[in-house]
Amino acid sequence: MAKVQGAIVVDIQKCKGCGLCVPACPAQVIRLAPAMNSKGYRYAFMEHPGECTGCANCSLVCPDTVITVYRVKANAVN
Ligand code: SF4
Ligand code: SF4
Protein backbone atom coordinates (compact mmCIF):
# COMPACT_ATOMS: atom_id res chain seq x y z
CA MET A 1 0.00 0.00 0.00
CA ALA A 2 1.26 3.44 -0.86
CA LYS A 3 1.04 5.79 2.05
CA VAL A 4 0.86 9.53 1.64
CA GLN A 5 3.41 11.41 3.64
CA GLY A 6 3.62 15.12 3.95
CA ALA A 7 6.03 17.78 4.96
CA ILE A 8 5.71 21.47 5.57
CA VAL A 9 8.16 24.28 5.11
CA VAL A 10 7.56 27.37 7.20
CA ASP A 11 8.99 30.68 6.07
CA ILE A 12 10.40 31.30 9.51
CA GLN A 13 11.18 34.97 9.08
CA LYS A 14 7.61 35.73 7.92
CA CYS A 15 5.87 33.67 10.63
CA LYS A 16 4.20 35.89 13.25
CA GLY A 17 3.87 33.16 15.84
CA CYS A 18 0.08 33.48 16.03
CA GLY A 19 -0.17 29.75 16.73
CA LEU A 20 -3.30 29.16 14.62
CA CYS A 21 -1.59 26.35 12.77
CA VAL A 22 -0.89 24.37 15.95
CA PRO A 23 -4.46 23.28 16.82
CA ALA A 24 -5.37 23.16 13.12
CA CYS A 25 -3.12 20.16 12.59
CA PRO A 26 -5.05 16.91 13.18
CA ALA A 27 -1.79 15.00 13.56
CA GLN A 28 -0.34 17.39 16.15
CA VAL A 29 2.77 17.89 14.10
CA ILE A 30 3.33 21.60 14.71
CA ARG A 31 4.63 23.49 17.68
CA LEU A 32 5.92 27.00 18.27
CA ALA A 33 9.67 27.04 18.69
CA PRO A 34 11.23 28.26 21.93
CA ALA A 35 13.54 30.37 19.77
CA MET A 36 12.46 33.53 17.96
CA ASN A 37 12.90 34.80 14.46
CA SER A 38 14.56 38.11 13.66
CA LYS A 39 11.31 39.99 14.41
CA GLY A 40 10.99 38.47 17.86
CA TYR A 41 8.21 35.98 17.09
CA ARG A 42 8.29 32.35 18.08
CA TYR A 43 7.93 30.57 14.78
CA ALA A 44 6.13 27.34 13.90
CA PHE A 45 8.09 24.18 13.19
CA MET A 46 7.48 20.46 12.73
CA GLU A 47 7.92 18.84 16.10
CA HIS A 48 6.77 15.45 14.79
CA PRO A 49 7.64 15.45 11.09
CA GLY A 50 6.93 11.76 10.63
CA GLU A 51 3.24 12.29 11.46
CA CYS A 52 2.48 14.80 8.71
CA THR A 53 -0.06 13.56 6.17
CA GLY A 54 0.10 16.59 3.89
CA CYS A 55 -3.54 17.48 4.58
CA ALA A 56 -2.73 21.21 4.25
CA ASN A 57 -5.01 22.33 7.10
CA CYS A 58 -2.14 24.31 8.59
CA SER A 59 -1.50 26.11 5.34
CA LEU A 60 -5.19 26.99 4.96
CA VAL A 61 -5.49 28.60 8.38
CA CYS A 62 -2.22 30.53 8.30
CA PRO A 63 -3.21 34.19 7.90
CA ASP A 64 0.17 35.05 6.43
CA THR A 65 0.35 32.05 4.06
CA VAL A 66 3.86 31.23 5.11
CA ILE A 67 3.40 27.44 5.15
CA THR A 68 4.12 25.40 2.03
CA VAL A 69 2.91 21.80 2.04
CA TYR A 70 4.53 18.95 0.14
CA ARG A 71 3.02 15.52 -0.39
CA VAL A 72 4.76 12.37 -1.48
CA LYS A 73 3.59 8.80 -1.90
CA ALA A 74 5.82 6.42 -0.04
CA ASN A 75 5.65 2.65 -0.06
CA ALA A 76 4.88 1.32 3.35
CA VAL A 77 7.72 -0.80 4.68
CA ASN A 78 5.82 -2.58 7.40
S1 SF4 B 1 -0.12 19.35 6.34
FE2 SF4 B 1 -1.71 18.59 7.78
S3 SF4 B 1 -0.68 16.98 8.96
FE4 SF4 B 1 0.95 18.18 7.94
S5 SF4 B 1 1.55 19.73 9.47
FE6 SF4 B 1 -0.04 20.67 8.17
S7 SF4 B 1 -2.01 20.29 9.24
FE8 SF4 B 1 -0.44 18.90 10.11
S1 SF4 C 1 -0.44 30.18 11.42
FE2 SF4 C 1 1.25 30.97 10.11
S3 SF4 C 1 1.89 32.88 11.10
FE4 SF4 C 1 0.68 31.73 12.61
S5 SF4 C 1 2.19 30.52 13.79
FE6 SF4 C 1 1.48 29.21 12.12
S7 SF4 C 1 2.96 29.52 10.42
FE8 SF4 C 1 3.21 31.22 11.88
For 9-52, how does the pLDDT look when each residue is reduced to its tens digit (9 = 90+)?
999 999 999 999 999 999 999 999 999 999 999 999 999 999 99
Measured by CA distance, the residue closest to atom 1 of ligand 2 is: 62
CA 7 remoteness from chain centre: 7
pLDDT, position 4? 86
pLDDT, position 74? 73
Structural domain tally of the chain?
Answer: 1
Q: Is the CB of 62 under 6 A from ligand 1?
A: no
Residue 1 confidence class, pLDDT cut points 50, 70, 90: low
Predicted TM-score (pTM) of this structure: 0.91
- Is 60 exceeded by the pLDDT of residue 76? no
CATH number at residue 68: 3.30.70.20
Neighbour-count burial for 21-44, b at 16+ CB within 10 Å, e otherwise: bbebbeeebbbbbeeebeeebbbb
Q: Alpha-carbon distance 36 to 7, whole Å?
A: 21
Q: Which domain holds residue 19?
A: 2-75
